[in-house]
Chains A and B, each alone.
Chain A
Amino acid sequence: EPEVTQTPSHQVTQMGQEVILRCVPISNHLYFYWYRQILGQKVEFLVSFYNNEISEKSEIFDDQFSVERPDGSNFTLKIRSTKLEDSAMYFCASSESASSYNSPLHFGNGTRLTVT
């Protein structure tokens, strides 16, 4: 079964550094998402992306965050200047259509980001 893949599985970075988290969504999917989960807390929506632009973003997704689909297969999340509170598990997801009725989200295994 096709799956969403994320790399790296664990990223350690120093505060103030830039990080790029990478995702390869399922190949025929058109809608892409990033979520994050701070340890012990809820899985939170960050951003959705379709047709090479952001469809929706949460209040968490401030100017320090950006997303990009640099080629036909990758979908990246960049954090420009990491803060301690950015430490979390980041999940990429994709879906075939925008409608949750017909097409649920498929999640990757996540990238654990640790900011020191």
Chain B
Amino acid sequence: GNSVTQMEGPVTLSEEAFLTINCTYTATGYPSLFWYVQYPGEGLQLLLKATKADDKGSNKGFEATYRKETTSFHLEKGSVQVSDSAVYFCALSDRGSGTYKYIFGTGTRLKVLA
């Protein structure tokens, strides 16, 4: 079945460091791919998405490119801030019997130190 694998955390970085959180997927067909972020005490918020191969999703300085050849959707940011500390979830859409359901990775906790 379809699945998502994320790098294990926690990831601890200094402010202004470069961030990469790896995500690879297994899917039949052509799923959409997503990154969601969960700040402390809050729900999951959509960070960015890509719906087909070679698409690049971007938001708030974060980027991820849908790589079909490597089945990857790695999240990157050039310069992280303390406010980026959160848990990041990679997800793919899986079309079930009529509605889409999302399959999530385990989440990667990011901690950014001032």
- Interface set of A (CB-CB < 8 Å, partner B): 4, 6, 31, 33, 35, 40-45, 48, 50, 55-56, 58, 91, 98-101, 104-110
Contacts and interface: CB of A to CB of B under 8 A. Distances in A.
Contact of A104 (B34, B96, B107): B34
A97 to B, nearest CB: 9
Contacts of B103: 45
Contacts of A107: 36, 43-45
B99 interface: yes
A98 B100 contact: yes
Contacts of B51: 101
Contacts of B27: none
A98 B99 contact: yes
B32 interface: yes
Given A42-B105, A99-B100, 20 more contacts: A42-B104, A43-B91, A43-B104, A55-B98, A55-B99, A56-B97, A56-B98, A91-B43, A91-B44, A100-B100, A100-B102, A101-B32, A101-B51, A105-B46, A106-B46, A107-B43, A107-B45, A109-B41, A109-B42, A110-B43
B68 interface: no
A41 B96 contact: no
10 contacts: A31-B99, A35-B104, A41-B106, A43-B104, A48-B99, A55-B98, A91-B44, A100-B100, A100-B102, A109-B41
A107 B106 CA distance: 17
Contacts of B101: 33, 45, 48, 56, 58
Nearest to A40: B106
B49 interface: yes
Contacts of A58: 101
Which of A6, A40, A110 has the most B CB atoms < 10 Å from its CB? A110
Nearest to A55: B99
